Chain A
Amino acid sequence: MKTNIYKKIFSLALMAMPLTAAAQTTLCTFDADDYGALSVFDSWDDSPFVTGALQGNVAVVSNPAPNEGNSTAKVLGVQRSRFGSNKFGAKIRLKTPFELTTATRYVHVLINKPVAGRVMLIGLGKRDNRAAQSDQVEQFWALSTVPAAVGQWYDAVFAVKGNGGISISSLVVVPDCESSHALADDFIAYIDEIEIGDTPEPRFRASDLSTNATATSARSTICRISVTARNGDVLKADGSVLSGASVPSGQPLTIWMQPAPGFRQNGISVRHGHLSGDSLVNGIPQWKTVQVPANLFRKNRYTLPASYMDGDVEITAEFAEKKSTSSAANRVPNLNNAASAYTMVWHDEFDAANGTPADTTKWGRCPRQSATWSRLLSDVAEVCFQQNGHLVLRAIPNRDTSKDNAAMLTGGVQSRGKFSFLHGRIECRALVHPHEGNFPAIWLMPEDHSDGWPACGEIDIMEQINTENRAYHTVHTHWTYTLGHRNDAAPKTSFNGTVDMSQYHTYALEWTKDSLFWFVDGTPTGFYGREPAHATQKQWPYDKAFYIILNQSVGDGTWASSPDLAHTYEMNVDWVRVYRKNEADNISGLQTQTPQHVQVD
């Protein structure tokens, strides 16, 4: 099918009609006086062909291969110089300019060149309404949708469009849009039969398609993911970075959209397939674009079907602004921006059936001891259970003192002996209910208590007392507590700020080798750092693994007030998530402790 059809169509077009209703308009055949000035062109400012150090070699010559798909007598030849840039080519001034339209049109150019490599078409022209503008302004740059056939004529196709009102007066055919640094010798490329029209299909196909088959056949077993997102990010389901990730092809992938404050997810656009080459190979589209609307997401998550995972996958996220319905207090970023640099390594979403106890593979109950917070702890089910996707911790009046004579029973869980970590980030979304005597806490203690409290160290991520709309963030160490530096101006050891306690908030701690940062809803609220000058005074006991404690206690008048014995106190924990820093030193990576017998203090 290759040669004759094209030749017939072409000669018909030549004889019969110029440009009217026909879909295709002939621009240059080089067989007649249908082209303007010829030269070489280079868009590199310092090109020797721009400075005049070298002269280009371009001319209309005899067709070097008249029976290989193009039998016309004359063609344009250009010497591709190894001293030109990747945008070096043959410039043809058109006898009649054409208008660049907002609708895509297709320029077809027959090309015959001895090497592979991308070809490009550059349009030079001007806006019609700018009298003083040069007509040599670059207006479009199009790579051919048909890959180069080597050593024979083929029909390169360039999709072009632009703002209306622009006339293209010259075309530059770039026969080798690749860097020239490795080109050992110049080569000659031939150009012929330039048309513009509405047909994306090449006028004929080169007989030897072996070089064309690679795009569709050489699919990898790995999908490379790229993400573009503004006003938010798209992460893997576990919260780790998605952009740039390689995942197995042919397997579904769950993604997680993370809107920035003030924005909501509004779906994604997914382009998948073979993205790095031309859009069309032999008329076969190389990629597909699929819109995934917001309503297909559940909790900002969506699973891309296996059929999309067939090469490169480019995800463009849409985040729409929230209208003024949400107040700042309602924004609950479960991760601030920084979290994209982290990988979630441990979490509990407390999503078990209503009434289920806390997961015993992750948590144990805090045992009753003599400290204020621990003096009323109890193992009864009513003070610690999961409900509606939350962990409920309570302090309740003790209505049956026959088994336990404590005035109240309070609930607390700890990950001691089951999970602990050194460095990283922990986040906990929780709601507390202020009331006189209230004393809930989210905090960390070391697995190794052997130094004794407070020398062993304590990190309070969040404490709240009584009716206060205020969150406290505190460290206790030998240096701060025993040596009396609790109220030093620097470094500060305790922080607090106003927080609307009628709302859920995300309380976070970022822990590095030398520093602790506290956050509430992503806002920094405190910092405590290693002070090398006080190293011998146990100022920094935070070089070892700590475990997590969540508890609903009541005060005794030492800080939080004594409790209202008839009241039921409650804290609701939506989730706890722990992240490892993606680029942390290996030595400061997370340590997961194996379960072990725990000595009760």
Chain B
Amino acid sequence: MLKNYKLLAASLVAGFPLCLWAQLTPVQQTYTYPKNAPAPVFPVPSERQMAWQETEFYAFFHYGMNTFRNNQNGGDNEWGYGNEPETDYAPTKLPDCRQWIKAVKAAGMKGGIAVVKHHDGFCLWPTATTTHSVSRSGGVGPKVDVPRLFSKACEREGMKYGFYVSPWDRNSASYAQPEYVKDVFLKQVSELAKYGSDQFEMWFDGANGGDGYYGGANETRSIDAATYYDMPNLADSVHKLQPNCVIWGGFEARWVGNEAGYAPITNWAATTEDGWKWCAAEADTKATNQGWFWNDGETPYTPERLYRMYLETVGRNATFILNVPPNKAGVLPDASVSALKGMGDLIKARLTADLATAATVSASASRANFGAANLTDGDKNSYWATDDGQNTATLTLTWSTPQTAHYVMLQEFIRKGQRVKAFSIETSADGITFTPRATDQCTTIGYKRIVPLNGSTSDYGTGFPVKAIRISITDSKACPLLHTVSVF
């Protein structure tokens, strides 16, 4: 981030235009950004939101009480009621978090989030807040501490980590009363915030209230989700211990709105074009055909289908959290491991060899110090920009020999705000005649946008022969800033 601002002048100016009443004397101030950089378009992401966005693609691991009960009642025990005997969680060996994280690393993921308490309230770590935890469980359960095992495994693999802890607790007798939040929930969050030193996201499920065991009350309870969990102070305490940990659930990052693994093509980090708060979307879905937790007989989706989800999430300015359930043995089954590997292979095969780095890139307009060469220099902190007031521009990539192109990837320099509202992509086989591609898909860009030139996220196709590609920014909130253009 550019922080060395310069105060140029602070002086009174006689003809200040808006001082009709002259009751508060206006101070004329000038402030410039270094090297002719443009002013931000607000809102902008915080440092931790930037780091989170760059995580892009990570795993969701639902493992716990439901893993061991799912098959007892026909596979529909996704949400335990809260009265499950602790001894029903009876693993015969410790969950192999290292195996989980290695498998998702092969899919191209950069981290993972482990469920450590689901709605049933059973805690997968030795908590001081309740006895409904691994400490009373069966098998080797009392030795299980998922946040410890998981954070250690991720650190060893160089992967980011975070935890899902359900605010809704169908076990706790005090749920829906202030005591639950004060004495149970916030303390659990504080306990979890002490695991590792670099958590990237804490996940607070939007499912809130309803029927449950509640210490034997067996009733339906409801809460005001807007106030009950005291998110501002929860976030404050987490950030003290984990400064890079984004609070998910609409506080610093938001749910994309579906669980089917896609983001809308037009996707603003501030939710809407005029949103006042930076709160980018995360898309959550399952890589398997049954529950979030393990079910006997489940199968993973094909690598092609998972790859399509990747294009429709990461490629549409959302982060992607993909669920793979560990089984009762505490490992990801072979079928999941190979589907993940297959997905990673597709990402590598189709989105790695960047043709743009060998192209000549020119821009119809560039700001001084922010030329088109910045688009292909591999540096996410250098970017191309236009002058203030110049909200449209055309970038042209040309190659001396024809290439075969399937995708164009664009990345805005979002540290200064998300700007682009519409753009177009055209390809040319001869460098002379241009044909528009994916014309119904070119609206917002944001952190990352991957546009399939044939318009299809499911059909890789044979690609288009290109000697030139033209990318035109046709509408933007302010001068457009792109740090990377890639062609695959």
Q: A44-B44, A114-B20, A127-B233 are in contact. Are A51 and B257 (CB under 8 A)?
A: no
| Shortest CB distance A515–B (Å) | 7
Minimum CB distance partner of B312 in chain A: A341
CB-based contact B233/A585 at 8 Å: no
Decide: B232 and A139 in contact? CB cutoff 8 A: yes
Residue ID in chain A nearest B24 by CB atoms: A77
- Summarize B's interface: helix, strand, loop or mixed: loop
CB pair A141–B17 under 8 Å, yes or no, is no
Shortest Cβ distance from residue B296 to the other chain A in the assembled complex, whole angstroms: 9
CA distance A226 to B301 in the complex (A): 28
- Given A233-B258, A244-B264, A514-B460, CB of A86 within 8 Å of CB of B42: yes
Nearest chain A residue, comparing its CB with the CB of B71: A328
Tell me, rounded to whole Å, the shortest Cβ–Cβ distance linking B387 to chain A. 13
Instruction: Say which one of A160-168, A358-366, A547-555 lies at the interface with B.
Output: A160-168
Contact indicator A585/B230 (Cβ below 8 Å)? no
Within 8 Å of chain B (Cβ to Cβ): is A340? yes
A328 vs B296: C-alpha distance in the bound complex, in angstroms? 10
Verify A514–B285 contact, CB threshold 8 A: no
Contacts of B379 in A (CB 8 A): none
State in angstroms the CA–CA spacing of A231 and B78 once bound together: 11
Residues from chain A with a CB closer than 8 A to the CB of B224 are 102
Assuming the contacts A163-B181, A179-B417, A243-B264, asked whether A327 and B74 have C-beta atoms less than 8 A apart, the reply is yes
Interface string of A166-210 (1 = CB under 8 A from B): 100000000001111110011110100000000000000000000
From known contacts A81-B29, A328-B297, infer whether A138 and B76 are also in contact, taking CB-CB under 8 Å: no
**Interface window among A15-23, A57-65, A445-453:** A57-65
Cα–Cα, bound, A327→B295 (Å): 12
B461 contacts chain A at the CB level, 8 A cutoff: yes
| Complex CA–CA separation, A63 to B46 (angstroms) | 37
Cβ contact of A527, chosen from B74, B266, B302, cutoff 8 A: B302
Q: Which residue from B26, B182, B232, B276 sits with its C-beta under 8 Å from A188?
A: B26
Interface size for A (C-beta < 8 A) is 97
B456 touches A585 (CB 8 A): yes
Q: How far is the CB of A168 from chain B (nearest CB, A)?
A: 11
Q: Does the CB pair A338–B27 fall under 8 Å?
A: no
A130 lies within 8 A of B233 (CB): yes
* Minimum C-beta distance from B391 to chain A (A): 11
What is the size category of the interface that chain B forms with chain A?
A: 35 or more
Contacts of A178 in B (CB 8 A): 42, 274, 276
Q: Is B357 on the interface with A (CB-CB < 8 A)?
A: no
Q: Which residues of A contact B272 (CB under 8 A)?
A: 276
Is B459's CB under 8 angstroms from A85's CB? Answer: no
Determine if A262 and B276 form an interchain contact, defined as CB atoms under 8 angstroms apart: no
Q: Mark A308-332, 1 if CB is under 8 A from B, else 0.
A: 0000000000000111111110000
Contact A188 B31 (CB under 8 A): no
Residue B369 at the A interface, CB < 8 A?
A: no
User: CB of B304 within 8 A of chain A?
Assistant: yes
Q: In the complex, what distance in Å separates the CA atom of A336 from the CA atom of B31? A: 55
Among B39, B181, B228: residue with most chain A CB under 10 A: B39
**A63 near B233 (CB under 8 angstroms)?**
no
Contact among B18, B75, B478 for A327, CB-based, below 8 A:
B75
Q: Are A324 and B43 in contact (CB under 8 A)?
A: no
**Known contacts A581-B458, A585-B459; is-contact A328 B74 (Cβ 8 Å):** yes
Given contacts A61-B23, A137-B232, contact A513 B459 (CB under 8 A): yes
The answer for the CA separation of A180 and B38 in the assembled complex, in Å, is: 12
Verify if B82 is at the interface (C-beta below 8 Å from A): no
**Alpha-carbon separation in the docked complex, A87 to B460 (Å):** 44
A226 to B, closest residue via Cβ:
B257
Q: What's the least CB distance linking A135 to chain B, in Å?
A: 11
Distance of A62 Cα from B20 Cα, bound (Å): 13
- Docked complex Cα distance between A45 and B239 (Å): 14
Known contacts: A48-B31, A163-B228, A524-B299. The answer to whether A584 contacts B456 by CB under 8 A is yes
In the assembly, what is the distance between CA of A299 and CA of B165, in Å? Answer: 35
Task: Contacts A324-B74, A337-B260 given; indicate if A129 touches B276 (C-beta within 8 A).
Answer: no
Could you tell me which residues of chain A, from 127 to 156, have a CB within 8 Å of some CB in chain B? Answer: 127, 129-130, 133, 137-141, 143
Q: Does residue A397 face the partner (Cβ distance < 8 Å to B)?
A: no
- The CA-CA distance from A198 to B282 in the complex, in Å, is 37
CB of A352 within 8 Å of the partner chain: no
Say whether A524 contacts B478, CB under 8 Å: no
B236 at the binding interface (Cβ < 8 Å): yes
Report the bound CA distance from A180 to B297 in whole Å: 56
Q: For A325, what are the chain B residues with a Cβ–Cβ distance below 8 Å?
A: 74
Contacts of B230 in A (CB 8 A): 127, 162-163, 166
| B477 close to A (CB within 8 Å) | yes
Q: Which stretch in B3-11, B110-118, B138-146, B344-352 binds the other chain? A: B3-11
**Least CB distance, A57 to chain B, in whole angstroms:** 5
Nearest CB of chain B from residue A144's CB, rounded to whole Å:
12
Chain B 13-31, CB-CB to A under 8 Å as 1, else 0, gives 0001111111111110101
Judged by a CB distance under 8 angstroms, whether A487 is at the interface is no
User: Considering the complex, which residues of chain B in the window 389-443 have a beta carbon less than 8 Å from any beta carbon of chain A?
Assistant: 417, 440-441
Q: What are 27 sample pairs from A and B whose C-beta atoms fall under 8 A apart?
A: A57-B27, A64-B22, A78-B24, A79-B26, A86-B42, A102-B224, A102-B227, A114-B18, A130-B237, A133-B233, A163-B178, A163-B227, A181-B40, A181-B478, A188-B26, A229-B259, A244-B264, A244-B266, A276-B272, A276-B274, A321-B76, A326-B76, A327-B74, A327-B75, A328-B74, A337-B259, A513-B459
Q: Which residues of B contact A (CB under 8 A)?
A: 1-3, 5-7, 10, 16-27, 29, 31, 38-44, 46-47, 73-79, 178, 181-182, 206-207, 224, 226-230, 232-233, 236-237, 255, 257-262, 264, 266, 272, 274, 276-277, 285, 289-291, 295, 297, 299, 301-302, 304-305, 417, 440-441, 454-461, 477-478
- Those 7 A-B pairs whose CB atoms lie nearest each other, nearest first: A64-B21, A77-B24, A324-B73, A163-B230, A86-B42, A179-B42, A53-B5
A54-B10, A230-B207 are known; give 10 further A-B pairs, CB within 8 A: A79-B27, A114-B20, A165-B178, A227-B258, A243-B257, A321-B79, A322-B76, A326-B74, A512-B459, A514-B460
